[in-house]
Amino acid sequence: MPDLTIIVPTYNERDNVAVLVDRLAAALDGLDWSALFVDDNSPDGTAEAVDAIAKHNPRVACLKRIGRRGLSSAVIEGMQQTTAPYLAVMDADLQHDETVLPKMLDALKQGGTELVAASRYMAGGGMEGWPKVRRMISRTATGLTNLVLKSTPRLTDPMSGFFMIRREVFEEVGPKLSGTGFKILLDFFLSANRPLVFQEVPFTFRPRHMGESKLDVRVSLELVELLAERTVGRIVPVKFILFTAVGAIGVGVHLGVLGIAIEGFALAFNIAQILAIWVAMTSNFFLNNIVTFRDSPLVGGAALLKGLLSFYVACSLGAVVNFAVAAFVFDMLALWALAGFTGAVAGAVWNYATTSAFTWKRHKQ
Ligand code: GDD
Ligand code: MN
């Protein structure tokens, strides 16, 4: 059983893994360490690259996940597979300075400290080659996060993806982790029901070695979701808020198109209603793909087109429900806005139920 296991989440990091293993070997010389890569079935063959190393290097192994994505959830699953008393989390792209690892391990071994986080924002730390704007965004996000995070004293870099813990911390907090998004360190602090005893060590965040970053709008939304889950989420489930928000935007689009078609183009109510249903359906598809179902989104032209068509099919009965309810209300009251609104709400309930199972295949998750 190794003393220290480094969990390395990977997605399309084929050209980084061998260099990382070499650097770990150099930095951890004399220590009893192992590295567990957790790969989400990367199309570039990252898992094969790790397996090729594992064949002749018993310190290295790869855990493969199929049909799932996510940095934090990968780290959690990796930790579950380990038995080492000390666990580190580190990116595969060489941005995290591996020479800091022995210092982190020493700090934990001295006793008392449960977690050591590597920080870009304390004296001695930094970011190599970051433009001013990116520094500002990162600082602002850090400030906002610290508002939610009430740990005292404050973490200087709660968004860091580079840290080490005692295994007992994982055993205690692991079952409560949210697993949403990129911010696994933050997740530990937000999910522990008590202040964790931590230390910070400075490091310089290096430029990515090979490949591309996976941080995008979706991942940023996940940070907002993680923070929401641990604040307002205690009262109302965040998924419910998201569904309602997307639904509300869909109803807004529907009524907008309906209004323009009737008031602007003098279309008959039923024709305008069909047009509004089609536009709202299309915009809801794209919105749901990036917001509601961002944990299993459809990507690429072919998948999107197929998804859109299946979304139309899945929504067709909802559209009929929408149309029928609206026509009924319009017949009775002759108020286009009220009729359109009632129809859209009736259709939306049906649509969520069918598309979540059909278009995004949630049951496979
Ligand atoms: N298994 C798995 N699944 N791994 C993933 C996934 C995923 O869906 N997405 C990203 N990773 C892996 C990457 O392959 C990489 O090894 C690591 O997670 C970090 O991803 P990057 O795409 O390089 O993220 P970044 O450099 O923009 O952000 C990193 O640094 C920030 C600052 O410290 C992350 O560690 C952030 O959490 C951190 O805030
Ligand atoms: Mn990176």
Q: How far is the CA of 91 from the centre of ligand 1 (A)?
A: 6
Question: Do 175 and 265 reside in the same domain of the chain?
Answer: no
Q: Which domain holds residue 110?
A: 4-234
Question: Do 254 and 356 reside in the same domain of the chain?
Answer: yes
Q: Is 161 in the pocket of ligand 1 (CB under 6 A)?
A: yes
Question: Do 23 and 148 reside in the same domain of the chain?
Answer: yes
- What confidence score (pLDDT) does residue 319 get? 83
Whether residue 239 has pLDDT greater than 80: no
What is residue 349's DSSP assignment?
H
- What confidence score (pLDDT) does residue 365 get? 39
What is residue 163's DSSP assignment?
E
Give the pair of three-digit tokens for residue 30. Answer: 């004399």
For the CA of 159, the closest atom of ligand 1 is 39
- Amino acid at the residue 222: E
What is 50-78 written as a DSSP string? HHHHHTT-TTEEEEE-SS---HHHHHHHH
Ligand of minimum distance to the alpha carbon of 121: 1
Rounded to an integer, the average pLDDT of 132-154 is 80
Question: Do 204 and 257 reside in the same domain of the chain?
Answer: no
What is 256-282 written as a DSSP string? HHHHIIIIIT---HHHHHHHHHHHHHH
> Do 60 and 25 form a contact (C-beta atoms < 8 A)?
no
The beta-strand segments (E) located in 168-261 are 198-202, 204-205
For the CA of 182, the closest atom of ligand 1 is 37
Mean of pLDDT over the chain: 87
Q: How far is the CA of 213 from the centre of ligand 1 (A)?
A: 7
For the CA of 65, the closest atom of ligand 1 is 1
> Do 40 and 74 form a contact (C-beta atoms < 8 A)?
yes
Question: Do 35 and 122 reside in the same domain of the chain?
Answer: yes
Question: Do 211 and 313 reside in the same domain of the chain?
Answer: no
Question: Closest residue (by CA) to atom 30 of ligand 1?
Answer: 161
Whether residue 291 has pLDDT greater than 80: no
Question: Do 271 and 325 reside in the same domain of the chain?
Answer: yes
Confidence band for 236, pLDDT divided at 50, 70 and 90: low
What is 91-145 written as a DSSP string? -SSS-S-GGGHHHHHHHHHTSS--EEEEESSSTT-EETT--HHHHHHHHHHHHHH
For the CA of 39, the closest atom of ligand 1 is 1
pLDDT tens for each residue of 42-75: 999 999 999 999 999 999 999 999 988 899 999 9
Question: Closest residue (by CA) to atom 23 of ligand 1?
Answer: 213
Question: Do 218 and 260 reside in the same domain of the chain?
Answer: no
Question: Do 224 and 337 reside in the same domain of the chain?
Answer: no
The residue among 205, 234, 263 that closes a domain is 234
Quote the radius of gyration of the chain (alpha carbons, Å): 25
Here the CATH number for the domain that contains residue 191 is 3.90.550.10
115 by Cβ neighbours in 10 Å (0-12 / 13-18 / 19+) ranks as buried
For the CA of 161, the closest atom of ligand 1 is 35
Confidence band for 139, pLDDT divided at 50, 70 and 90: confident
Rounded to an integer, the average pLDDT of 138-148 is 82
Rounded to an integer, the average pLDDT of 256-284 is 91
Q: Give the integer Cα–Cα distance in Å for 126 and 218.
A: 26
Rounded to an integer, the average pLDDT of 272-281 is 90
Which of 138, 188, 129 has its CA nearest to residue 163?
188
**Which range is least confidently modeled, 136-140, 150-154, 284-288?**
150-154
Q: How far is the CA of 237 from the centre of ligand 2 (A)?
A: 30
- The residue ranking higher by pLDDT, 148 or 36, is 36
Give the pair of three-digit tokens for residue 346. Answer: 């009736």
Confidence band for 188, pLDDT divided at 50, 70 and 90: very high
Confidence band for 348, pLDDT divided at 50, 70 and 90: confident
Question: Do 113 and 222 reside in the same domain of the chain?
Answer: yes
Domain count, the chain: 2
- Which residue among 7, 11, 97 has the greatest number of ligand 1 atoms within 8 angstroms of its CB, and so is best to mutate? 11
Whether residue 279 has pLDDT greater than 70: yes
The residue among 176, 209, 234 that closes a domain is 234
The residue among 212, 234, 256 that closes a domain is 234
pLDDT tens for each residue of 95-112: 999 999 999 999 999 989
- What confidence score (pLDDT) does residue 53 get? 97
> Do 365 and 359 form a contact (C-beta atoms < 8 A)?
no
- What confidence score (pLDDT) does residue 363 get? 46
Question: Do 142 and 290 reside in the same domain of the chain?
Answer: no
Neighbours of ion ligand 2 (CB under 5 A): 91, 93, 95, 208
Q: Give the integer Cα–Cα distance in Å for 31 and 354.
A: 54
Question: Do 230 and 243 reside in the same domain of the chain?
Answer: no
Tell me, rounded to whole angstroms, the distance of Cα 269 from its chain centroid.
Answer: 42
- The residue ranking higher by pLDDT, 291 or 364, is 291
> Residues of the chain with pLDDT > 70: what percent?
93
